[in-house]
A and B are shown apart, each in its own frame.
Chain A
Amino acid sequence: MNLKRSLKLYKMLEPHLPEDLELEPFDFISIIVHNIKESKRHNDYIDILEFVSGMPRSELLSMEFIDLFEMFAEGMTDLQIIYLAKFCRKMGLSDA
């Protein structure tokens, strides 16, 4: 994913990111999913998966939760999401 798209992804993820960026990747990703669930903005989860995987929304909605979570976790790990969040916060791109 190039810089422009990764920054867009950061903006989608930003409201759900944990404060602590020093967490282990799995914990970090689990907190994102937990935060999305808590915020009741479930569409954000599908929007992010659609953006990362390029799969049609209808197909994503027909998948099992566990498969979606696996896809989400893999996507976030491959994209080095913690490093992206650290960079964006360091550069002042964060809304907080």
Chain B
Amino acid sequence: MESSIQIGKKKYLISRLRLREWLKLEDNRIRIKEATESKDIDGFAEGVYSYISVAIGVSSEELDELYWYEVINIFETIQAENFPKYEFPLLESKTKAKTVRWDYPERTWYIWANNLADTYGWNLEYIAELDIDDAIGLLQEILVNDQLEKEWEWGLSEIAYSYNSSTKKSEFRELPRPDWMKAPPEEIKPIRMPKFLMPLGKIVGRDGKEEILQ
């Protein structure tokens, strides 16, 4: 569903972006998140302006002239329009991408394009115009296949097994998975404990409250 907004006399259509432009939006979302974490309010505002500029082409200078409420309204409308349809685990990765020597602006697009082109043989123009849900789903499948293949090869190699001198046996060490592929930790269930095993005497809780157990 598309929505429209008016800035001055000009009307702008807010629509769901295609992959290449959406990745620029994502880069800006990360920039906003980093500014939020460091409580950098100017960086946050710049990130919001840049986010809107990518989506509808309004310059930061024009946005700086607008009332804050309008800017936030536009920002939230663009965000709502461009949320992926599903909660892809790939996007929930908590590991911060490490900066490397060979980084450059908009590298995210080339990483995605490289993976999709390599697997499906599509050209850049086709990949750039992919629907974001399709692109995220496909990239996740590529990365899962890649990881499972590596795990298989790892299992066949000697380095996957280390000798435990106390048990005098070789033990298999799993190849670490990216955090978005790991199963969430199981919730610890409360265990009933017999009364005679309960501690006796004065118990001081973490909150400093004292309780006498008899």
Contact = CB atoms under 8 A, between A and B. Distances in A.
A92 B36 contact: yes
Interface residues of A, number: 19
Interface string B32-58: 100011010110110011000000000
B69 A2 contact: no
Contacts of A7: 41-42, 44-45, 68
A45 B198 CA distance: 55
A95 interface: yes
Interface in B45-79: 45, 48-49, 63-69, 71-72
A66 interface: no
A2 B68 contact: yes
A3 B63 contact: yes
A3 B72 contact: yes
Nearest to B48: A3
A10 B68 CA distance: 12
A2 B41 contact: no
B64 A4 contact: yes
A23 interface: no
A76 B64 CA distance: 20
B66 A11 contact: no
Interface residues of B, number: 19
Nearest to B66: A2
Contacts of B68: 1-3, 5-7, 79, 84
A21 interface: no
Contacts of B69: 80, 83
Interface string A73-87: 000000110011001
A83 B68 CA distance: 11
B49 to A, nearest CB: 8
A71 interface: no
20 contacts: A2-B67, A2-B68, A2-B71, A3-B48, A3-B49, A3-B63, A3-B64, A3-B66, A3-B68, A3-B72, A7-B44, A79-B68, A83-B69, A84-B68, A91-B32, A91-B44, A92-B36, A92-B37, A93-B41, A95-B39
Pick the 9 closest A-B CB pairs, nearest first.
A6-B68, A7-B41, A3-B68, A4-B45, A92-B36, A3-B71, A3-B45, A2-B64, A87-B72
Given A3-B48, A80-B69, 17 more contacts: A1-B68, A2-B66, A2-B68, A2-B71, A3-B64, A3-B66, A4-B41, A4-B45, A6-B68, A10-B41, A83-B69, A91-B36, A92-B36, A92-B37, A93-B41, A93-B44, A95-B39
